[in-house]
Chain A
Amino acid sequence: MATVGQACLIFALGFSLYGVVASLVGARTGREALVRSGRRSLYALFGLAAVAFLITEFAFLSSDFHFTVVATHSSTTTPWYYRLAAMWSSQQGSLMLWLTLLAGWSSLCVVMLRGRLRDVAPYAVAVLLGFGAFFTAVMLFSASPFETVPVAPPEGVGLNPLLRHPSMMIHPIMLYSGYTLFTIPFAFAVGALIVRRVDAEWLRATRVYALAAWLALGTGIILGARWSYAELGWGGYWAWDPVENAALLPWLTGTAFLHSVKIQERRGMMKIWNASLVLATGTLAILGTFLVRSGVLDSIHAFVEEGNTVAWFFTALIVTMIAGSVYLVITRRDNALKSESRLDSLLSRESAFLGNNLVLVAITFVVLWGTFFPLISEALTGQKEAVGPPWFDQYTVPLVLILVLLSGIGPVIAWRRTSWPQLWRSMRLPAIIALLVAVGCVLFTPGNGDVAPLIMFVVGAFAIATSLQELWRGTRARQAMTGEGPFAAFRLLLARNRARYGGFIVHIGVAVLFIGIAASSSFQSVRDVRLGVGEQAMVSGYTFTYVKPVAKIETQAGRLERITLGSQVRVTKDGKFVANLYPNRGYYPAVGSMLGAVSTYFAGESTSEIGLKAGVTKDLWVAETPDISSLMPVVRRGDAVFEKAAGQGLNPEARSIFLAAALNGLTARYRNNPPAAQFRIIISPMVFWIWLGSIIVFIGGVIAAWPSVGAVRDRVRARQAARVAKDLGRA
């Protein structure tokens, strides 16, 4: 199987390189057969990548430890669904995922656009195949998933317990879908610039992929935040870590592009800006993969192993992308990228979009600067320095406030120009609502000296109100014109102009999300406390009582997966019962350790499972670090007993039975004599709003990305036109 997989990669590289050459030569010489052949190379790349992907997944699923990547990232004690996801916890598997998604999305795009953009498409296909060749080459020469050993180890290392969380099964797929989908507009931008055809058609044709990329990347970011909140035992969802920032960067420029593209479609303006944004977004998507996979910056995530050579491949690719992008934009700036009209007034929707773009690009620059500051400072001063979350917050908080405000103004302001009285008429109701929220904030929110969250509540309410007002007005207008019922009118309003009204729903979701972030980060109560059984801790009026310990052995496929030590924590408020929480910590055995028979079960990875009562207004969050030091003398005695027994010829079956008894005895001992444990208790207001806002954004994004009747009609017409043109050419 490994040989077949390796052969697939070799053929994939061959097809990719051939496809690049065929597409370029075909485009240059006008030989349609070569262009077609290049396009088919892309489909072949997808087929081969899919086969290689399935072979790797099958090896994970069947625990084939002949594959080095399986032996080092999975085990028989890893549940089957996590075995599937274990593939992309490895460098090799994640590159395989990247290639498969890239080839899949690219093929889909090329099929959908068949017959359109005939001059641009061959160059775009060449660029996409170039990316395919790059990732195939990286795998073949640096990180192949098909490396095997002649004798398989009896057991694998297992999936990192921290990654055993449902969101981690989907998070990488969404992130990589986002990255790979962003390469499609990038590729078409390169093609459009090469042929100097930078009209709105290529933008319209590829906007759905930019939107899908934005949606997938945003979903991936949120799933990562959710995982961090639920799994990492520190209670936060964002830490400005380089790897988190890597995903945020293309999402920010992608957001800017999705807004500014409207101006080009409508007014033929901002062509240089749009081309630059698309090229920057594609480059940042590759940079994101580079940051995760290269280990060039100190990050909480270290997916990189010693002797890693992937960084050099990526550096070469990124330098090429930047140099090529700059060259294309500079050489096309005076003709192809010349604006068709000018900004008429600062009081116009174009200006609001431009403002939104400037703010988004400013945030991108801040995040990029902060992320790469260790490298910048080292280059400038010879001393590696780093900035922390307060530095990022100092800039991003005011910029995000402006952004949310603009998301409220944009929908109600007219194209070209408007007057102050007109603007006031459109914004009057939302402004009054925002004013009421401001008064409520002053009267009812706890004063902690931080005004930024209060401003966020006000501008968030304003943004939500303007979007709701536009949805309401649109529905009412439709009802008046057609006599439809309110629900039918609303549904058809969305269906007729998905991009516009889907966008308003996204704005509502973003405002809800930021209100949640502002509240949970500013009004959070945290307490680290050590409690024995029966002891209590008070946090923000809630009483947390350590009721009793929990200790158990958990198995998978008849073998020990982990030992769980935790507690039952009762939460009360004013003497009334609120919830029982069960925080615990799972101890996974160390594989291949030279430790004693019993201590090996406490020497592996350990991971927190939090106790959480989530609510609309606040979350009660508890994580526990059990004190296992009282168990260690017994563990060491157990090691000595098993060592002695091994010397006396204890057979493996009897050893397993005695070991199971010993571990059961240990967990019983923990239950009967529970030591005091360390707890982190957090009460976070409105965290639920972050997840709710994300869901609203997702729904709005899907509505906006869903092909409208008009778009399908356009596509069919374009295909017909292409066919007629071809027939005429033949005649």
Chain B
Amino acid sequence: MDPARKRRIRMVIALSCAVLLVGALAYTSFSAASTAVEPSQLLASTNPGESYQLTGKVVDGSVVRAREEIRFRVRDRTNKKSVAVRYVGAVPDPFREGREVIITVRSAGAGAPPHSFIGEKDTLITKCPSKFKESGPAAPASDAKKS
């Protein structure tokens, strides 16, 4: 076979593979993706069975641990609209009230309180803070002397 033709064929095959890969990536990423939402968007509308990647801040005073389950509310970053989340699985060390979290959730379904969601196991991630200062004026850190 003419070498130039051979090279053209190889090029066409390589480009076809690249186009196929891009097509597959685009298709599967849209079909496998979780919609990234804030609580106010979940309050506006949810589809039963669909999973969402919920992002927001853990509401102060909302964290309740009950045996292996943990319950908390997640609110929008900029307002107070919040949804309830029940979660079983690994809780990252930085998880606490007021901290930003990302968790994959589904609607808790019929029989559950309205606007409540179930977190998928081991999907809870908490933003790793670069610092952990509480709000309020600076005060001495630790008063306790060595015991």
Contact = CB atoms under 8 A, between A and B. Distances in A.
Interface string B14-52: 100000011001001110111111000000000000000
A609 to B, nearest CB: 10
A388 B34 contact: yes
Interface string A524-535: 000011100000
Nearest to B32: A391
A495 to B, nearest CB: 39
Nearest to B139: A592
Q: Number of contact residues on A: which range applies?
A: 35 or more
Q: Which of B53, B68, B123 counts the most A-chain CB atoms under 10 A from its CB?
A: B53
Interface in B100-147: 100, 102, 104, 122-123, 125-147
Interface string A82-95: 00000001110000
A182 B145 CA distance: 49
A365 B19 CA distance: 12
Contacts of B32: 387-388, 390-391, 394
Contacts of A591: 132-134, 138-139, 141
A232 B102 CA distance: 16
Contacts of B96: 605-606
A342 interface: yes
A659 interface: yes
A365 B131 CA distance: 33
Interface string A377-394: 100000111111011001
B90 A233 contact: yes
A528 B91 CA distance: 11
Interface string A576-604: 00000000010011111111010001011
A605 B132 contact: yes
B80 interface: no
B3 interface: yes
A77 B133 contact: no
Contacts, number: 202
Interface residues of B, number: 56
Nearest to B146: A555
Given A386-B53, A589-B141, A660-B145, A91 B130 contact: yes
Contact of B138 (A233, A388, A592): A592
Interface stretch (A200-208, A320-328, A366-374): A366-374
A166 interface: no
A319 B75 CA distance: 35
Contact of B147 (A384, A590, A594, A660): A660
Interface of A: 71-73, 75-77, 89-91, 153-158, 160, 162, 231-235, 239, 241, 298-305, 342, 358, 362, 365-366, 369-370, 373-374, 377, 383-388, 390-391, 394-395, 528-530, 553, 555, 558-561, 585, 588-595, 597, 601, 603-608, 625, 627, 629, 652, 655-657, 659-661, 663-664, 678, 680
Rank and list the top 8 A-B pairs by shortest CB-CB distance, nearest first: A385-B33, A593-B134, A155-B141, A302-B127, A384-B36, A560-B142, A153-B138, A560-B144
